[in-house]
Amino acid sequence: MDTEPHASAEVPERESDLGDLPPMVRDSHLVAPPHPPSGRLPVATTAQYRDLYASSLADLGAYWAQVAADFEWMGGWPPSPALEGDLAEGFSFFPGARGNVSVNCVDRHARTTPDKVAIHWIGEDGERRAWTYAEFAEQTARFAQALVDLGVGKGDVVAVYLPNLLETFAVVHGCLRIGALYNIVFSGFSPAALADRVIDTGAKVVVTADETFRRGRAIALKATLDQVLGDLSSVEHVIVVRRSGNPAVPMVAPRDRYYDEIVAATAHGAAPVALEANDPGFIIYTSGTSAKPKGLVHSGLGFLTGAYHNVRYALDLGPDDVYWCTADCGWLTFPIFELIGATAHGATMIATEGALDFPAPDRLYAILAEYHVTKIFTAPTVLRMLARHGEELARRFDLSDLKLVALVGEPLDATTWTWVRDHVGDGRVEINNTYGQSETGSAWTSSLVGVTEAKPGSCGVALPGHAYAILDAEGAPVRPGEAGYLTITAPFPTLFRGIWHDPERYRTQYFTRFGSHRYDSADAAIEDGDGHVWVVGRVDDVINVAAHRLSTMEMESALLTTPGVAEAAVIGVADPVKGQVPEAFVTLSASASGTVSEEDLAERLGVC
């Protein structure tokens, strides 16, 4: 099994296919963390990180077992061996060990800090609710027992068609408590997209809400589900969370039951089921551009181990932090960085409903200030939205408690990075841009908070326990500064274990281009001379213009350096002469002078 990090690979001296180092990489620079190490991480310097990274790859099983030793196990611990198999043949972490995710995310904190607030929930309409860890534990156990009473057991699938609500946390952990697989379906999906996922999983139960609110409108989730229920032959029960309390929402007895009623009628909570470390925990779908969505299967306790590790290094949550992940629960960012990863650390979390800029553009700032949020995890698009509204909006609020802004989901340009540092953090906020995929189950490149330097625009460095290589089309390692295919060369606990009911597609899609021993991310990346990883887009996002291969991310970064440009997206379109040409979509900031011309922007792209 190839477990050598890309940075240490011997690569041939040859001319780069993409020319010189891209300006966004060449012009970037190391930025030291604005705060000293907290002392909670096992390393305090970049040199110590490098030593830890190298030692973690030398014995992956031992490294990950050391991480998982922080948890409560119900049998089979410590495992021997800690890792069996490899990417080519299939792998298992901690084989034979038994435990439960909900115990480690909920119960153990309810025992030690029962009165600590676990979740502050904020509705778009201004409603506020909160659960302590004691309340969180009781709701989880009771909902788990309600599922058992409905005939749900280990291996059954529960579809979770919910927005961000307190009850969403209890529903997910209730499933994990009894070994049922949960599948969160984004609450903004169409009836057809919802039906596709429920049919594919064969879910016995669907949990939804009567309604939710988005930009001042009531979104009828139960009614959306009702449109397709006739086609969902596997569904035996529908559980409805009262969000709006609208009495006109149709309920069909005995199939439809209200969440609050079945939890109240449950006499006791369910005991946690001891699950093997590699038992599946959930299914999450990724949308395909040319094929049906893929149901990625992640293990329960493996995902817990990796998400806990990811949050430790990328957020370094402490007992006094108030933490907010702005993602929707329908995207894997939320389970990694809040539902599972942050609860495993016993954090006090914020969960919000609705749009971050409604009913006013300052909603995000207002929440940060009101709840004294110390760390936030969001997307680059959100930061560009803030930049579009200008620095005056940020100055209206006391953001002195904010210490960290972490990001994932899309490329972050250096211009936005600098704007946030200068105008949101006043130079005191650490900005941590990370990278991961639904398939990886973690943002495995990142800064180590308070320890490693950042580079505006990069995705940081590989976290310990994660081996990778950047390859050319023939499978040879590329030189630093040269773009290539980003691959993973060894397993880690959050790496997905397959595609639901489609093992052939799993192998064909991810383990064909570079053989069965390398996972093909289909992302293009560059590693610079300091070991920072730059993900420049999907492989298909590197377009060929008159025999010149150009990264769409690089062109977007160039556009964003134009004064007055708030957002930019670039795609390749067919051209009879040049093969492809870039086409840019640009949004100007609120303070733009109006002097930005198409000619100026075209010059930035180099296509005049």
Q: Taking residues 268-295, report their average pLDDT.
A: 88
CB atoms < 10 A from the CB of 573, how many? 9
Domain with residue 449: its CATH number is: 3.40.50.12780
Domain shared by 535 and 546, yes or no: no
Residue 76 in domain: yes
Residue 12 has pLDDT above 60, yes or no: no
Domain shared by 356 and 406, yes or no: yes
| Tens-place pLDDT, residues 329-352 | 999 999 999 999 999 999 999 999
Mean pLDDT of the chain: 90
| Tens-place pLDDT, residues 69-107 | 999 999 999 999 999 999 999 999 999 999 999 999 999
Q: How far apart are CA 387 and CA 589, in angstroms?
A: 7
Q: Taking residues 287-315, report their average pLDDT.
A: 89
Residue 117 in domain: no
Domain shared by 160 and 203, yes or no: yes
- 243 or 606, greater pLDDT: 243
Highest mean pLDDT among 16-20, 166-170, 542-546: 166-170
Domain shared by 50 and 185, yes or no: no
Residue 116 in domain: no
Q: Taking residues 170-183, report their average pLDDT.
A: 98
Dump strand ranges (E) for 353-508: 375-378, 404-407, 430-433, 445-446, 461-462, 468-471, 484-488, 498-499
Residue 122 in domain: no
Structural domain count, the chain = 3
Sorting pLDDT into bands at 50, 70 and 90, what band is 288? low
Residue 525 in domain: yes
pLDDT computed for residue 318 by the predictor: 95
Show which of 540, 562, 593 is a domain's final residue: 540
Domain shared by 411 and 491, yes or no: yes
Domain shared by 549 and 510, yes or no: no
Lowest mean pLDDT among 6-20, 161-175, 397-411: 6-20
Show which of 540, 571, 591 is a domain's final residue: 540
What Cα–Cα distance (Å) separates residue 326 from each residue in 43, 237, 334, 352, 442?
28, 30, 8, 7, 16
Domain shared by 240 and 333, yes or no: no
CB atoms < 10 A from the CB of 193, how many? 16
pLDDT computed for residue 553 by the predictor: 58
pLDDT computed for residue 8 by the predictor: 32
- State residue 204 phi and psi, 5-degree precision: -85, -30
Domain with residue 575: its CATH number is: 3.30.300.30
Residue 578 has pLDDT above 90, yes or no: no
Residue 108 in domain: no
The domain of 600 spans 541-605
Residue 227 has pLDDT above 70, yes or no: yes
pLDDT computed for residue 591 by the predictor: 64
Residue 518 in domain: yes
Domain shared by 45 and 174, yes or no: no
Q: Pairing state of beta strands 256-258 and 237-241? A: parallel
DSSP symbols for 330-357: TSTHHIIIIIIHHHHTT-EEEEE-S-TT
Which amino acid does the sequence have at 164?
N
Q: How far apart are CA 344 and CA 342, in angstroms?
A: 5
Domain shared by 468 and 431, yes or no: yes
Q: Taking residues 392-409, report their average pLDDT.
A: 94
- 1 or 171, greater pLDDT: 171
Residue 366 in domain: yes
Residue 571 has pLDDT above 80, yes or no: no
Percent of the chain past pLDDT 70, that is, above it, reads 88
Domain shared by 149 and 244, yes or no: yes
549 CB contacts (<8 Å, ≥6 apart)? 17, 18, 483, 542, 543
Lowest mean pLDDT among 11-25, 105-119, 132-146, 432-446: 11-25
Lowest mean pLDDT among 22-26, 451-455, 588-592, 596-600: 588-592
CB atoms < 10 A from the CB of 421, how many? 20
Domain shared by 470 and 452, yes or no: yes
Residue 494 has pLDDT above 60, yes or no: yes
pTM of the predicted structure, to 2 decimals: 0.88
Show which of 273, 296, 322 is a domain's final residue: 273
Q: Taking residues 114-136, report their average pLDDT.
A: 98
Residue 299 has pLDDT above 50, yes or no: yes
Lowest mean pLDDT among 44-48, 257-261, 369-373, 547-551: 547-551
Domain shared by 222 and 332, yes or no: no
Tokens representing 564 are 């007055």
Domain with residue 266: its CATH number is: 3.40.50.980
Q: Dihedral of CA 192/436/354/144: which sign?
A: positive
pLDDT computed for residue 10 by the predictor: 33
